[in-house]
Structure 1
Amino acid sequence: MSEFFSTTREQLLSQVRAQMHEKRYLHTLGVAESARKLAERFGADPDKAELAGYVHDYCKCWPIPKLHTYLLRYDLPQDIIEGEKELWHAFVGANVIQSELEITDPEVIQAVRYHTTGRVGMSLLEKIVCVADYIEPQRSFPGVEKIRELAVKDLDQALSEALGGTIAMLIERKKTVYPLTLLAYNDLVSKGITPFE
């Protein structure tokens, strides 16, 4: 993994751990492990997948005012600033991991940026990190076993199931659905990759 960042794995994990509480850190380790397995299964670079898993939630536990300050600092899109605060950490994190962790690989940065929203035309690594975030071993929510089963054989189907479930949950809770998520889901469905089959 050393070619993708300038610190050792132990140093990186120490930096990541300092940003979050224990439960989030354990989730992070689970995502990294799941991402590596998915990468090995579907032909992506396992080291990049593991690295992206380690840093995907780097800013997740930051206070909202701090995230907001960084949103403005990085001049991120207005619809992100006005959208659900749950999405902020991914867009801020994609920038912060470059400055604080010296991660420069564009695939890893994009995987961090879109792991919560998805987008049209996701790369293989982006799909892997997004799905790994749903299926890591500590996750427990209605439908997670279905996504895990799909992820063994069809990454796109697992992604469609995951995004469809997220959209349904947001609608049920009367929350807004970020446009990129709808577009990502619609893109999959337009290709015949539909959830709930």
Structure 2
Amino acid sequence: MDREKALGIVESKIKGPRFQHTLGVVETAIKLAEKYGADKEQAEIAAIFHDYAKLMPISELKNFLIAAQEDERLLLYHPELWHGPAAAYILKKEFAIENEDILNAIRFHTTGRANMSLLEKIIYLADYIEPGRNFPGVVETRKLAKIDLDQAVYKAISNTISFLVEKKAAIYPDTFEAYNFFILNKN
């Protein structure tokens, strides 16, 4: 699927600030793909569709997770985590996107997971550091992204865990597993 067609599909679902965020993620993902040797077209498609299901009603997202036979633990956590897996399912069913790396990059862009692929790391990080983001730790993470992809992803995951702990919010197990993976595989 070409860029303009994909952007048109996504813009029909998400408009305004959410679409502007998507454009920022796309440009950031392309830059990261170029820097770290990932497939730029795959990064672009994954970035364009990463928030495709973001604005869907929670009941629809839940139905997609059940239909996709996603990890049932997801339903116990905040619905903010549901749009990635739901979007991956929709893209496979409705748009015949079969590339598992693209689908997994979309699926895990909010939680991360242990042993992420290069593309998964790029989409996770692009979503976190795109130019429209402004929160504590993002500037440092952007700087790290120019030097070391793994260190930047690790920093983003660490910041996310710290933020959730401070809010006394539940943390999805995949996020802890991603953090532990980076700690255990530092060298």
TM-score interval for Structure 1 and Structure 2 normalised by the shorter chain = over 0.9
Percent identity between matched residues is 44
Note if 1:28 corresponds to 2:22: yes
Match of 1:147, as an amino acid?
Answer: T
Q: Any idea what SS the aligned residue of 2:13 has?
A: coil
1:90-146, Cα deviation, whole Å (9 max, x unpaired):
111111111222222111011001111111110000000000001111011111100
- Offset of 1:191 from its aligned partner? 2.0
Distance in 2, matches of 1:76 and 1:192, equals: 30
Unaligned 5+ segments in structure 2 are none
2:186 is matched with 192
The Cα offsets for residues 159-192 of structure 1, whole Å up to 9 and x where unpaired, read as 0100000001111111100001001001101123
In 2, Cα distance between equivalents of 1:152 and 1:172: 28
Counterpart among 77, 88, 113 of residue 107 in structure 2: 113
Q: Gapped runs of 5+ residues in structure 1? A: none
* One-letter identity of the residue aligned with 2:38: A
Kept in 1, the 8 Å contact 2:6–2:45? The answer is no
User: Structure 1 residues 11-20 or 174-183, which shifts more?
Assistant: 11-20
Alignment of 1:103 with 2:97, yes or no, is yes
Residue 173 of structure 1 pairs with residue 167 of structure 2: yes
Displacement of 1:35 in angstroms is 0.4
Maintained 8 Å contact 1:32/1:50? yes
Query: 2:118 and 2:156 mapped to 1: Cα distance?
Result: 16
- How far did residue 9 of structure 1 move? 2.2
Match of 2:137 in 1: 143
Partner residue, 2:13: 19
Count of equivalent residues: 187
> Secondary structure of 1:104's partner?
coil
* Matched residue, 1:64: 58
Determine if the alignment matches structure 1 residue 47 to structure 2 residue 34: no
